[in-house]
């Protein structure tokens, strides 16, 4: 398989060309023949023109690549090595929603041939690949797992907006259904991952490794958010506390903040689900989720209280929210917790303007029914919330905020980026 791919006697297909799938497909397509398959035709058409619908990669990334973008099952069937990178979201009850994963599995199963490889990259709970996906592959293809086709799991570690830790310079975890699969899959990823691969003991280990990476971040951020609630009651700044504590060699550098997006705020629920299946009720993981999911409401209530103390009339008070994406320097608004702050403030009758240099206004409207404005209105704001630390916001200073604000306005700096530079305004951060 490895030689056939290298000699371009067969192709590797990436199924699901989003934040994860497109970069891996393009990187591999510099060395081997790749089929980029996605069910979303609009996205496929954009990629055919050298455009990344996620806005992460520039046009240069498409140059000198051997890749066929398609939604056609017939074209997909020319591959022998399938990499599945479709979304693994949660539903309204915070339960794993495996619909896209199982649907992509069915697609691949329908074209699977003897000798083929299927590698999952989507984040899942330990056991999902072998217990949920493999039976479907076997049933639909009529082939026998491990004998007729091989399966592996290799989680993705890319971090949207991060230009330092990339696919090629970050060690990739690889696993396979047997020794042979592990070796071949590792060699295929080694074609592009210069940092090398870590051969995991088995598929469940690789699945668990990915889920604990994100769960660990979630729990640690939850701890910092809890600290921030306590610090606020004491009347001290959390970031000052963390600066001081961070001088110890083994103090971990985590900060309070909103945990949104489709990874850190989602993946722990996959682990919780697996744990429940095994009759264990995880306390720490759920506590982290509870604290982090509550932060939007907490921030909004805190601001309302502060405005009341300043004698402001909450009904119709004017608030400017700067940043609505789920994190800094990305355009992705999915599962943004800034929206929790906005919705809670709207519930109190506050009037809100929202700006963001990266978010697409149509997407924001379609997803949340909220309007983005181009730039702050001339009206004076009672509170300005810098909700996301986009790089464009770092150069702003107190004079800028004062020019937009009423006399006794609050600057709520969620990520604490201005905490040493605000002298006159009423300042609050997590």
Ligand X SMILES: NC(=O)c1ccc[n+]([C@@H]2O[C@H](COP(=O)([O-])OP(=O)(O)OC[C@H]3O[C@@H](n4cnc5c(N)ncnc54)[C@H](O)[C@@H]3O)[C@@H](O)[C@H]2O)c1
7 contacts ligand X (rule: CB under 6 A): no
Site membership for ligand X, residue 377 (CB under 6 A): no
Q: Of 288-317, which residues contact ligand X (CB under 6 A)?
A: none
CB of 103 or CB of 366, closer to ligand X: 103
Closest distance of CB 18 from ligand X, Å: 2
> What is the enclosing helix (H) or strand (E) of 375?
none
Query: Is residue 88 involved in binding ligand X (CB under 6 A)?
Result: yes
Residue 112 in the binding site for ligand X (CB under 6 A):
no
- Lay out the site mask for ligand X across 214-253 (x = CB under 6 A, - = otherwise): ----------------------------------------
Decide: is 140 part of the binding site for ligand X (CB under 6 A): no
By CB under 6 A, is residue 19 in contact with ligand X?
A: yes
Q: Confirm or reject binding of residue 258 to ligand X (CB under 6 A).
A: no
Q: How far is the CB of 78 from ligand X (least distance, A)?
A: 16
Bridge partners, residue 199, by sequence: 174
What tokens appear for 310 in the block? 């300043």
How many degrees, rounded to 5, is the angle at CA 62 between CA 59 and CA 65?
Answer: 160
Going by C-alpha positions, the residue among 410, 295, 426 that lies closest to residue 350 is: 410
Q: Which of 12, 76, 83, 104 binds ligand X (CB under 6 A)?
A: 104
Encoded one letter per residue, x for contact with ligand X by CB under 6 A and - for no contact, window 47-86 reads -------x------------------------------xx
The answer to the question of residue 16 lying near ligand X (CB under 6 A) is: yes
Angle at alpha carbon of residue 64, lines to 63 and 65, rounded to 5°: 95
CB 78 within 8 A of CB 9: no
Question: Is 221 in contact with 257 (CB distance < 8 Å)?
Answer: yes
Phi, psi of 16 (to 5 degrees): 100, 100
105 dihedral zone (left: phi>0; alpha: psi -120 to 50; beta): alpha
Give residue for tokens 């320097």: 329
Establish whether 263 is a catalytic residue.
yes
State the greatest distance between any 2 C-alpha atoms of the chain, in Å, as a whole number.
74
| In the complex, least distance from residue 112 CB atom to ligand X, rounded to whole angstroms | 15
- If we measure between CA atoms, which residue out of 265, 369, 258, 403 comes closest to residue 323? 258
Helix axes 284-309, 267-277, angle to 10 degrees: 140
16 or 376: CB nearest ligand X: 16
Smallest separation (angstroms) from ligand X to the CB of 16: 3
Residue 38 binds ligand X, judged by CB under 6 A: yes
SS3 394: coil
Q: Give 207 or 413: the residue with its C-beta nearer to ligand X.
A: 207
Quick note: the x/- pattern for ligand X over 120-139, rule CB under 6 A, is: -xxx----------------
Active-site option among 133, 177, 231, 263: 263
Helices 99-111 and 134-141 pack at an angle, to 10 degrees, of 40
Q: Is 353 in the site for ligand X (CB under 6 A)?
A: no
Report the alpha-carbon distance of residue 430 to residue 216 in Å, rounded.
Answer: 20
Q: Kindly give, in sequence order, each residue whose CB lies less than 8 Å from that of residue 120, ignoring residues fewer than 6 positions away.
A: 84, 101, 129, 133, 151, 152, 153, 154
φ, ψ for residue 129, nearest 5 deg: -60, -50
Nearer to ligand X, 100 or 246 (CB): 100
What's the CA gap between 26 and 19, in Å, rounded?
A: 12
- Cβ neighbours around 114 below 10 Å, total: 11
Min dist CB 157 to ligand X, Å, is: 6
Q: Residues 141-160: x/- map of binding to ligand X (CB under 6 A)?
A: ---------------x-x-x
Q: Quick check: 100 binds ligand X (CB under 6 A)?
A: yes
Among 3, 59, 72, 103, binds ligand X (CB under 6 A): 103
Residue 40 in contact with ligand X, rule: CB under 6 A: yes
Task: Tell me the closest approach of the beta carbon of residue 290 to ligand X, in angstroms.
Answer: 21
Binding site for ligand X (CB under 6 A): 15-21, 37-40, 43, 54, 85-88, 100, 103-104, 107, 121-123, 156, 158, 160, 262-263
Query: What are the catalytic residues?
Result: 263
């Amino acid at each position: 398989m490895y030689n056939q791919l290298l000699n371009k006697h067969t192709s590797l297909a990436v199924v699901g060309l989003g934040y994860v799938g497109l970069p891996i497909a393009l990187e591999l397509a510099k060395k081997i023949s790749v089929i980029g398959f996605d069910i979303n035709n609009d996205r496929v058409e954009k990629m055919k023109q050298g455009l990344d619908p996620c806005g992460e990669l520039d046009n240069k990334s498409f140059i000198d690549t051997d890749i066929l973008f398609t939604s056609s099952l017939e074209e997909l069937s020319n591959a022998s090595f399938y990499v599945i990178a479709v979304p693994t979201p949660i539903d309204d009850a915070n339960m794993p929603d495996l619909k896209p994963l199982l649907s992509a599995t069915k697609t691949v199963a329908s074209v699977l041939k003897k000798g083929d490889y299927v590698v999952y990259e989507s984040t899942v709970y330990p056991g999902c690949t072998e217990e949920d996906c493999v039976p479907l592959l076997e049933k639909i293809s009529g082939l026998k797992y491990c004998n007729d086709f091989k399966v592996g799991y290799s989680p993705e570690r890319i971090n949207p907006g991060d230009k330092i830790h990339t696919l090629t310079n970050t060690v990739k975890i690889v696993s396979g259904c047997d020794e042979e699969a592990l070796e071949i899959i590792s060699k295929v990823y080694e074609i592009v991952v210069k940092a090398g691969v870590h051969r995991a003991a088995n598929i469940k280990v690789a699945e668990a490794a990915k889920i604990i990476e994100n769960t660990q971040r979630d729990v640690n951020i939850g701890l910092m958010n809890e600290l921030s609630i306590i610090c606020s009651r004491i009347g001290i700044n959390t970031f000052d506390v963390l600066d001081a504590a961070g001088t110890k060699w083994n103090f971990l550098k985590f900060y309070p903040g909103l945990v949104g997006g489709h990874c850190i705020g989602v993946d722990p629920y996959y682990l919780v689900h697996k744990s429940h299946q095994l009759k264990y009720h995880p306390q720490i993981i759920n506590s982290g989720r509870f604290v982090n999911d509550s932060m939007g409401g907490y921030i909004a209530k805190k601001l309302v209280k502060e405005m009341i103390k300043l004698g402001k009339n909450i009904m119709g008070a004017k608030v400017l929210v700067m940043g609505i994406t789920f994190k800094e320097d990305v355009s992705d608004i999915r599962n943004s917790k800034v929206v929790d702050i906005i919705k809670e403030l709207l519930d109190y009758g506050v009037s809100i303007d929202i700006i963001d240099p990266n978010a697409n206004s149509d997407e924001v409207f379609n997803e949340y029914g909220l309007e983005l404005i181009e730039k702050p209105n001339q009206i004076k704001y009672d509170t300005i919330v810098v909700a996301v630390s986009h790089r464009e916001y770092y150069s702003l200073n107190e004079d800028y905020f004062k020019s937009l604000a009423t006399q006794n306005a609050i600057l709520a700096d969620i990520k604490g980026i201005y905490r040493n530079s605000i002298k006159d305004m009423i300042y609050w951060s997590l």
